[in-house]
Structure 1
Amino acid sequence: MNHWEDFLVPYKQAVEELKVKFKGMRSQFILENNHSPIEFVTGRVKPVASILDKATKKEISLDCLAEEMQDIAGLRMMCQFVDDIEVVVELMRQRSDFRIIEERDYIANKKPSGYRSYHVVIEYPVETIQGTEKLLVEIQIRTLAMNFWATIEHSMNYKYQGGFPEAINTRLKRAAEAAYQLDEEMRQIREEVRDAQVFFSKNKDVIKAQNTVHHEIPKQ
């Protein structure tokens, strides 16, 4: 167990550092009263049991995990609009603190299951007391609708181990298309939504004060 803890420590550090950096990007957009293409960021290090299970399925030697398993450390960035995903990816391409290794576009090329997301694999340098370690980190960028569907599908996949009953499989594919249509509808009104959000952000303190005064006025 100590071996696994030592192995995963730099991955945990990478996740925490990248979360801070991407959340910082979001804060910069908000401070400038601009629409942030990043809604929120989450991250995790894959549990040991999941690492071993995937290594067995993919026939990856435990000695080659760092080189061949790209998602031991993983982040997810949620966006409100599909167009935001392209903005986030371009911002990542411009950064100098990590190197993009691979991009996989499952939005333009959805998986047979209906899964949509944009995956970016980066090589991220982590400073440790032993020196610099360059680790692979997988970053999934998706809309809130895509994430809702993917979360449900993941839970169902865990239950059925990929062998979905045909009726459930059909409904999941329909739900994936419904999520896609929702994203398309939101794309059509994104400018109006962004303007409203910027207006609210600029005036939220005034709105909050007005609501406070309203609630404090005694009833006659």
Structure 2
Amino acid sequence: MDGRDWNKFLLPYQQAVEELKVKFKTLRTELKAREEYAPIEFVTGRVKRISSILEKAKRLSVPLDQIETGIEDIAGIRIMCQFVEDISTVAELIRKRRDLAIVYEKDYINHPKESGYRSYHLIVTYPVQTSLGSMPVLAEIQIRTLAMNFWATIEHSLNYKYREQLPEDVKERLYKAAEAAFLLDTEMSSIRQEIVEAQQGFEEKSGIVRKVLNDIQSLYFFRRIREAAQFQLRFNELWEQEDIWGLTELSAEIQEALVRAGKSSNP
């Protein structure tokens, strides 16, 4: 074993993971703010444990002084999607980014592993700005559906338990479970439009409600207490009736009231 300081060695990888997580979460927020469909459900990330790095280096016959280039997933990002179709959309968004470079891609969606594992992997180099200057870090970005992720998590746990030597009956059951998970993804894709429309309707309703309540509070700020109270009563009625069209009209009226309030406070 070499005498490297592992804590210092892993610092750039930890920085890469944190920065990439923020960037992909921000991308999701931006898409939703623009009222576009966001193919990213959520993002996670991790830095490989030292023991796992050493085990993988041994398994792949990677010399310890070549770990930086020989092991590509020390920094790992996982992006979860609702639908299989979303995976290619997210991959394309990543390809267009200028803050990282694609090294190569592995398509385990159309070409699943023998175990049944499905996911889409992109190996990228990401430049981390350190106190010593810019340092390119290899990172693996996995894109998968929630069903694929559930299966992969179970497989990982079982492989850990059996030390990568799964009994044949467990392998067979895992493979059947992988096919069932993919069937679920296929079924969800068949009603994708209905699901997306329902989610967008919910987001629209949530956005209108948030805007109306915030604007009513703004009226209180301008000391339009009576007017704000009347709008609040109307909101309560429309909310009980689940009248989205009525809430939209109410929002427009409150906006007009805010404009008048702003003018009167600045003669």
Smaller-chain TM-score bracket: over 0.9
Match of 2:95 in 1: 93
Question: Aligned equivalents of 1:47 and 1:86: distance in 2?
Answer: 29
Structure 2: 5+ residue runs without aligned partners? Answer: 214-234, 241-267
Residue by residue over 1:152-175, the C-alpha shift from the partner in whole angstroms, topping out at 9 and shown as x without a partner, is 010001101222222221111110
1:72 aligned to 2:74? yes
Match of 2:57 in 1: 55
Question: Aligned equivalents of 1:146 and 1:67: distance in 2?
Answer: 28
The letter for the 1-side match of 2:205 is: N
Question: Aligned equivalents of 2:26 and 2:184: distance in 1?
Answer: 28
The letter for the 2-side match of 1:76 is: R
Match of 1:122 in 2: 124
Question: Aligned equivalents of 1:51 and 1:167: distance in 2?
Answer: 29
The letter for the 2-side match of 1:74 is: G
Deviation at residue 35 of structure 1 after TM alignment? 1.6
Match of 2:180 in 1: 178
Residue by residue over 1:170-200, the C-alpha shift from the partner in whole angstroms, topping out at 9 and shown as x without a partner, is 1111100000000000111111101110110
Residue by residue over 1:73-130, the C-alpha shift from the partner in whole angstroms, topping out at 9 and shown as x without a partner, is 0010000000000000001111100000010000000000000000000010000010
Residue by residue over 1:17-55, the C-alpha shift from the partner in whole angstroms, topping out at 9 and shown as x without a partner, is 000000011001111122211000000000101111111
Match of 1:20 in 2: 22
Question: Aligned-residue CA RMSD in angstroms?
Answer: 1.8
Match of 1:113 in 2: 115
The letter for the 1-side match of 2:25 is: K
TM score, norm. by length of structure 1: 0.92
Aligned residues: 212
Larger radius of gyration: 2
Question: Aligned equivalents of 1:62 and 1:204: distance in 2?
Answer: 53
Match of 1:42 in 2: 44
Taking only the aligned residue pairs, the percentage that are identical comes to 53
Higher helix share: 2
Question: Aligned equivalents of 1:193 and 1:118: distance in 2?
Answer: 23
1:131 aligned to 2:133? yes
The letter for the 1-side match of 2:147 is: A
Deviation at residue 2 of structure 1 after TM alignment? 7.4
Match of 1:143 in 2: 145
> Which of the pair has the greater relative contact order for Cα pairs under 8 Å at 6+ separation?
1
Query: Deviating runs (4+, > 3 A) in structure 1?
Result: 205-210
TM score, norm. by length of structure 2: 0.76
Question: Aligned equivalents of 1:44 and 1:94: distance in 2?
Answer: 23
Match of 2:198 among 193, 196, 199: 196
Question: Aligned equivalents of 2:104 and 2:75: distance in 1?
Answer: 15
Match of 1:103 in 2: 105
Question: Aligned equivalents of 2:4 and 2:106: distance in 1?
Answer: 34
Match of 1:218 in 2: none
Structure 1: 5+ residue runs without aligned partners? Answer: 215-220
- Name the SS for the 2:106 alignment partner: strand
- Name the SS for the 2:67 alignment partner: helix
The letter for the 2-side match of 1:60 is: V
Question: Aligned equivalents of 2:5 and 2:194: distance in 1?
Answer: 53
